[in-house]
Amino acid sequence: MRLGALEAGGTKMVCSIGDETGKILDRATFPTLSPAETIPPMIEYFQKAGVEALGISSFGPLDLNPASPTYGYVTTTPKPGWGYCPLLPEFQKALGVPVGIDTDVGGAALAEFQMGAAKGLANCVYVTVGTGIGAGVVAEGRLLHGMVHPEWGHMLLRAHPEDPTPRGFCPYHDGCLEGLACGPAIDKRWGAPSRELPHDHIAWEIESYYLAQLCVTALVTISTEKIVLGGGIMQEKFLFPMIREKTLKLLNGYVAADQVLNHIDDVIVPPGLGIHSGVTGALILAAKAARK
């Protein structure tokens, strides 16, 4: 089956052609400008490719309630011009094929669950730590949605005692995960890009403390079997042992599961699909839409 995949990001839009196995046949990238400038060339790309279905993994927030009149719309995003953009309807109307949609992290979670680090399990959380922080949750084999979709980047945290900016940099909340631990927050806190900070800089002690609190929340709330940490910041692989150590310290033995107590390296992991979690998830969403 010839499938289209759209990874809709705040900076760029990555359009791919592939199949239900995750094989990529072609790819094109478009800058994220206004919807009027960005959507038409993407539609043309998929039309020329002759896709049979399309999957969209998008930045949000999104309306993912199929019964809603604004299903498939971007909603209250701070991205200029994209608030209440009818993303899914635009592609449905223009392409005339089935279209599936979820958040970017929802698609990546689905991919890691079916083909990546959480394959064979019933539950997982995929977290991206980059320009923003978001999480997709698979529970008992299904992507988790509620009134909206999970917004884990805005959980409130306990500030690190040595954090010089304990309120963080989120325009909506003081002391939330995204405002404290996303890439731009690190850059603003220390006045330098995170990639330039040495591994022994206090920045990473603080960052791993915040991400460990995220992991604790995932373990004590939804009791997930796998926490997959991806995104640009998590390319700093030295963070993983720091996060695991702090997670165990914060749990203090309370979650007495063998996997946590003795195999934490297998619980908090990098993506099994590497940088391809997003596109694979979009292809899975396309295949699901086609089957429906």
CATH number at residue 182: 3.30.420.40
Looking at the structure, tell me whether residues 31 and 56 fall in a common domain: yes
Residue 121: count of CB within 10 angstroms of its CB = 14
> Nearest Cα to 274, choosing from 243, 237, 239, 219?
237
Whether the pLDDT of residue 274 is over 90: the answer is yes
- Percent of the chain predicted with pLDDT > 70: 100
pLDDT at position 79 is 86
Rounded Cα gap, residues 237 and 214, in angstroms: 17
Looking at the structure, tell me whether residues 89 and 166 fall in a common domain: no
Looking at the structure, tell me whether residues 123 and 230 fall in a common domain: yes
Looking at the structure, tell me whether residues 124 and 258 fall in a common domain: yes
Whether the pLDDT of residue 48 is over 90: the answer is yes
Query: How do residues 131-178 score in pLDDT, each as one tens digit?
Result: 899 999 999 999 999 888 889 999 999 999 999 999 999 999 999 999
> Tokens for 107?
């698609």
Confidence of residue 2 (pLDDT cuts 50, 70, 90): very high
In contact, 133 and 153? CB cutoff 8 Å: yes
Range 250-264 average pLDDT: 97
Confidence of residue 10 (pLDDT cuts 50, 70, 90): confident
Looking at the structure, tell me whether residues 99 and 211 fall in a common domain: no
> Tokens for 190?
């220390």
Confidence of residue 251 (pLDDT cuts 50, 70, 90): very high
Looking at the structure, tell me whether residues 244 and 144 fall in a common domain: yes
pLDDT at position 78 is 79
> Is residue 92 in a domain?
yes
Q: Which domain holds residue 168?
A: 117-270
> Is residue 111 in a domain?
no
Query: How do residues 58-71 score in pLDDT, each as one tens digit?
Result: 998 999 999 999 99
Rounded Cα gap, residues 267 and 246, in angstroms: 14
Looking at the structure, tell me whether residues 286 and 170 fall in a common domain: no
Rounded Cα gap, residues 116 and 109, in angstroms: 9
> Is residue 112 in a domain?
no
In contact, 211 and 228? CB cutoff 8 Å: no
> Tokens for 98?
């089935």
In contact, 141 and 149? CB cutoff 8 Å: no
Average pLDDT across the chain, whole number: 96
Q: Name the residue with higher pLDDT: 277 or 150.
A: 277
Looking at the structure, tell me whether residues 11 and 79 fall in a common domain: yes
pLDDT at position 204 is 98
Query: How do residues 74-133 score in pLDDT, each as one tens digit?
Result: 998 878 999 999 999 999 999 999 999 999 999 999 999 999 999 999 999 999 999 899
Looking at the structure, tell me whether residues 144 and 34 fall in a common domain: no
Looking at the structure, tell me whether residues 160 and 251 fall in a common domain: yes
Q: Which residues contact residue 253 at a Cβ distance below 8 angstroms, ignoring those fewer than 6 apart?
A: 261
Q: Looking at the 3D structure of the chain, how many domains does it have?
A: 2
Looking at the structure, tell me whether residues 171 and 264 fall in a common domain: yes
> Is residue 10 in a domain?
yes
Helix, coil or strand: residue 154: helix
Give the Å distances, CA to CA, from 265 to 97, 112, 121. 42, 17, 16
> Is residue 79 in a domain?
yes
> Is residue 81 in a domain?
yes
Looking at the structure, tell me whether residues 122 and 180 fall in a common domain: yes
